[in-house]
């Protein structure tokens, strides 16, 4: 493993599961998604961190068992400058437009046509990047370091790092839920209808 199955069926299956879960979490709604940035709804951080911990622990367990090897998986290269600039722009885009690329598709699926407008904007954004590729292309590789993964960079063993991430996730749930209660609770599907 892995199977390197890039067929249409594989893509649709992974996408349908992804979209079903995003909508079920409430991530087809710009109001709910952006409420995270105002700290009134912590669902984005809670779901994201839980998913990262679950998948990371799963990958670690499978690699320890010899089922998979990280070198056979796609680990994003450590272009830290590019990742930082992209993080700033996508974070700004999320605050302004209410979505990121995946959640925009989920929004359109749940009937929010601002998701479609966001997607049209993304295509225009890519076109601008392509038009100025002579300049912007170099930004992609800015700040590249050779160490791709955190355990090697920090010199912390993988199980310890995963345990720290799990603790961090638990802390996010505890603290986030506390703040949510003070602000009247996370946004419900019914509350969104009233908007």
Q: Mark 83-101 as b/e (b = at least 16 C-beta within 10 Å).
A: bebeeeeeeebbeebbbbe
Give how far the C-alpha of residue 101 lies from the chain's centroid of Cα atoms, to the nearest Å: 10
159 lies in the site for another protein, by CB under 8 A: no
Site for another protein in 7-46 (CB under 8 A): 7-8, 10-26, 28-32, 34, 36-38, 42-43, 45-46
121 lies in the site for another protein, by CB under 8 A: yes
64 lies in the site for another protein, by CB under 8 A: no
Give dist(CA 105, CA 41) in Å, integer: 21
Site for another protein in 167-186 (CB under 8 A): 173, 186
The dihedral region occupied by 26, where left means phi > 0, alpha psi between -120 and 50, and beta the remainder, is: left
Give dist(CA 155, CA 139) in Å, integer: 28
Helix (H, G, I), strand (E, B) or coil at 169: helix
User: Minimal distance in Å, beta carbon 54 to another protein?
Assistant: 3
117 lies in the site for another protein, by CB under 8 A: yes
Q: Using CB under 8 A, which of 64, 65, 66, 129 touches another protein?
A: 129
Site for another protein in 65-104 (CB under 8 A): 68, 70, 72-80, 82-104
6 lies in the site for another protein, by CB under 8 A: yes
166 lies in the site for another protein, by CB under 8 A: no
């Amino acid at each position: 493993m892995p199977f390197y199955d890039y067929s249409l069926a594989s893509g649709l299956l992974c996408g349908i599961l992804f979209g079903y879960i995003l909508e079920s979490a409430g991530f087809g709604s710009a109001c709910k998604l952006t409420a995270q940035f105002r700290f009134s709804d912590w669902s984005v951080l809670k779901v994201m961190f839980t998913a990262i911990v679950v998948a990371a622990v799963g990958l670690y367990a499978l690699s320890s068992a010899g089922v998979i090897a990280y070198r056979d998986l796609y680990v994003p290269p450590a272009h830290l400058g590019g990742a930082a600039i992209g993080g700033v722009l996508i974070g700004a885009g999320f605050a302004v437009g209410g979505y990121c690329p995946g959640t925009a598709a989920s929004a359109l699926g749940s009937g929010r046509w601002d998701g479609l407008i966001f997607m049209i904007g993304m295509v225009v954004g890519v076109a601008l990047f392509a038009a100025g590729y002579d300049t912007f292309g170099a930004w992609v590789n800015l700040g590249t370091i050779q160490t791709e993964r955190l355990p090697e960079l920090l010199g912390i063993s993988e199980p310890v790092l995963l345990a720290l991430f799990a603790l961090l996730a638990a802390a996010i749930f505890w603290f986030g839920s506390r703040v949510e209660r003070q602000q009247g609770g996370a946004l419900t599907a019914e509350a969104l209808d009233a908007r």
